[in-house]
Chain A
Amino acid sequence: MAINLVKGQTIDLRKNDKGESFDLSSVTIGLGWDVRKTHGGGFLGKLFGGAEEAEYDLDAIAFLLDKNGKVANRGYAKQTANGRTINMFEGDVIYFNSMRHPSGHIWLTGDNRTGAGEGDDEQIIVKLDSLDPKYDRILFLVAIYQGRKNNQHFGMVENAFIRAVDSHGKEIAKFSLSGDSTYNGMCSMTFAEVYRKDGTWKFRAIGEPHSTDSLSELLRNY
């Protein structure tokens, strides 16, 4: 029996009175948003329009942290066939350029660049029970790709949400990223973490927004 007054922590307070808990043997982090609505072209649009407005491209990100709360393996720089360099490939950061962890136990289902489709547009799936014991905590984040450059922030994106679902498809937590003035000007968010405690995994919702859209900036503390 404990009540937690620390903000940003969800106690395992289920939404029913059966005292159900969540099965965290695997957890899916789902990110969803709607495709940008074009702002009616019309006369003024033609007059002032000009530049094509960029689509909203939200990215789900996961950091696998060790006992010291750090990303131990930052992967390596990989040259792609077309001469691009990809940083942090096959490290302990799961993101659009490195979608599958070498262990195979955590992966990003794909990079959705527009929000097309219903429900979750991007998912990170983690088989928590299979993870190497050296991983103590996984932090899940969401960022708007090039949000600063495109003047985009959560306050503008339609119907954006991030949620966590347990092995049985039961929703553990969900944050709406749209329509909350707290997220105006914010391009990224530390959504939640799962961490090992007393031999089991615990889920904690954080929901802390940040103004940066930069992955390296978000990674700085880890």
Chain B
Amino acid sequence: MAINLQKGQKIDIGLSKMTVGLGWNPNEGTGYDFDLDVSAIMIDANRLVPQDEFFVFYNNVDSPEQSVHHTGDDPTGGNSDGGDDESITVDLTKVDARIQEILFVVTIHEAQARRQNFGQVRDSYIRILDNQTGAEVCKYELGEDFSIETAIEFGRLYKRNGAWKFEASGVGYKEDLAFFLSKYFKGQIIK
């Protein structure tokens, strides 16, 4: 049974291999496609990505030590009918020792130019699945919780005393992917 998350709720996931799945339905009306993106930002004790490649997203689908993998960009939501359209798989046993936290965000690509927000996207959700059993650990329905926003901090996996925990952030912003990245990456961001 999935937990529908409360903001700030912490869960002991007790999993080492999991999948963060993002799903939504294609735009059936006129106008632009809805292009949602899920990304993972892996940060160290300085709260920065130790190198570019620890930012896992549509242009970089693997972290250097292969612990985090992005299945690739779905620009329309048409990848799966009713299931996850984009996923990020995580194997916590492989995560680089420097990494203290993995932050998951969902953004709508070019939301501003296309005048889109989560409220317009049908059946969008983000969830965590246990890779061993395929069971849903927790889930947010994006359209209900973030209707006027364009970017969501879904949650963070963080290390405490050698064990990984998950905290649901559930914070929405009227921002884009660069906004999240700029908090944890001090180099140049090309938009």
Chain A interface (Cβ within 8 Å of chain B)?
Answer: 1-7, 9-11, 13, 15-17, 181-182
Q: Point out the residues of chain B lying under 8 angstroms from A182, CB to CB.
A: 74-76, 78
- A5 lies within 8 A of B178 (CB): yes
B133 on the A face (CB < 8 A): no
Contact with A along B62-77 (1 / 0, CB 8 A): 1011000000011110
Given contacts A10-B59, A11-B52, A15-B62, contact A181 B78 (CB under 8 A): yes
Enumerate chain B residues within 8 angstroms of A9, measured Cβ to Cβ.
59, 190
Range, interface on chain B? 20 to 34
Least Cβ distance of B141 to chain A in Å? 24
B185 near A7 with CB under 8 A, answer no
Contact between B177 and A13 (Cβ–Cβ < 8 Å)? Answer: no
Q: Chain B: residues with CB nearer than 8 A to chain A? A: 52-53, 55, 57-60, 62, 64-65, 73-76, 78-79, 109, 177-178, 181, 185-191
Q: How far is the CA of A181 from the CA of B76 in the complex (A)?
A: 10
Please give me the residue from chain B that is nearest to A184 by CB atom: B78
**Please, which residue of chain B has its CB at the minimum distance from the CB of A181?**
B78
B178, closest chain A residue (CB): A5
With A7-B58, A13-B52, A17-B53 known as contacts, the answer to whether A1 contacts B187 (CB < 8 A) is yes
- Check B188 against A2 for contact (C-beta < 8 Å): yes
A7 near B75: Cβ-Cβ < 8 Å: yes
Complex CA distance for A11 and B45, rounded to whole angstroms: 26
- Among A5, A10, A16, A17, the residue within 8 A (CB) of B177 is A5
Smallest CB-CB separation from B26: which chain A residue?
A: A181
Q: A1 with B52: in contact, given A7-B75, A181-B78 (CB under 8 Å)?
A: yes
Q: How far is the CA of A221 from the CA of B123 in the complex (A)?
A: 38
